[in-house]
Amino acid sequence: MPSRVELLSRTFANAQRFERLCFELEGLKKPTQKMKAVEAAAHFANGTGAGVYRSEKLEAALSDLSANLERPSLSRKTRRSGVLHVMSCAFPWGGHTRVVERWMKLDGKERSQSVALTEQGLQPVPKNLREAAASVGGSIFRLPRDKPIRDRALQLRSLALEFEYVVLHIHMHDIVPSLAFGECSFPVPVIFYNHADHRFSVGFEVACAVAETRSWGQELSKLRRGILDSQRLGIPLNPDRDAVREETNAIRDRLSLPKEAKIGIASASEYKFKPFLELNLFETINKILQRNQRVWFLLVGLSKSFCHQQLQDVGGRAAEVQRVVPIPVCDETQFRSYMKAADVALDTLPENGCTTAIDYISHGLPVVSRQTFIGQMDFLVKQREYIRSDEELVDNFLSLVESEADRKSTAARQFESLSVDCGGEVFLDRLNTLYCAALTRNPIGPSRDSRFFGFSDLDLFHTDRSRHIV
Can you tell me the mean pLDDT for 1-28? 93
Q: At residue 39, does pLDDT exceed 90? A: yes
Residue 329 confidence (pLDDT): 85
Q: At residue 292, does pLDDT exceed 90? A: yes
Q: At residue 369, does pLDDT exceed 90? A: yes
Q: What is the overall mean pLDDT for the chain?
A: 91
Q: How confident is the model at residue 13 (pLDDT cuts 50, 70, 90)?
A: very high
Q: Give the span between the Cα atoms of 72 and 161, in whole angstroms.
A: 11
Q: At residue 247, does pLDDT exceed 90? A: no
Q: How confident is the model at residue 240 (pLDDT cuts 50, 70, 90)?
A: low
Can you tell me the mean pLDDT for 23-44? 94
The kind and range of the H/E element at 113 are: strand 113-117
Burial zone of 104 (CB within 10 Å; 0-12 exposed, 13-18 middle, 19+ buried): buried
Percent of the chain with pLDDT strictly greater than 70: 94
Is cis: bond before 366, omega within 30 of 0?
A: no
Amino acid at 416: E
β-bridge mates for residue 346, sequence order: 368
Whole-structure pTM value: 0.93
Tell me the CB-side half-sphere exposure of residue 3, using CA atoms within 13 A. Answer: 3
375-414 per-position pLDDT tens digit: 999 999 989 999 999 999 999 999 999 999 999 999 999 9
Q: Give the span between the Cα atoms of 306 and 302, in whole angstroms.
A: 7
The DSSP line for 121-144 is TTSPPPHHHHHHHHHTT--EEE--
| Spatial contact of 114 and 139, defined as CB atoms under 8 Å apart | yes
Question: What's the maximum distance between 2 C-alpha atoms anywhere in the chain?
Answer: 69
Residue 269 confidence (pLDDT): 87
Q: How confident is the model at residue 1 (pLDDT cuts 50, 70, 90)?
A: confident
Q: At residue 331, does pLDDT exceed 90? A: no
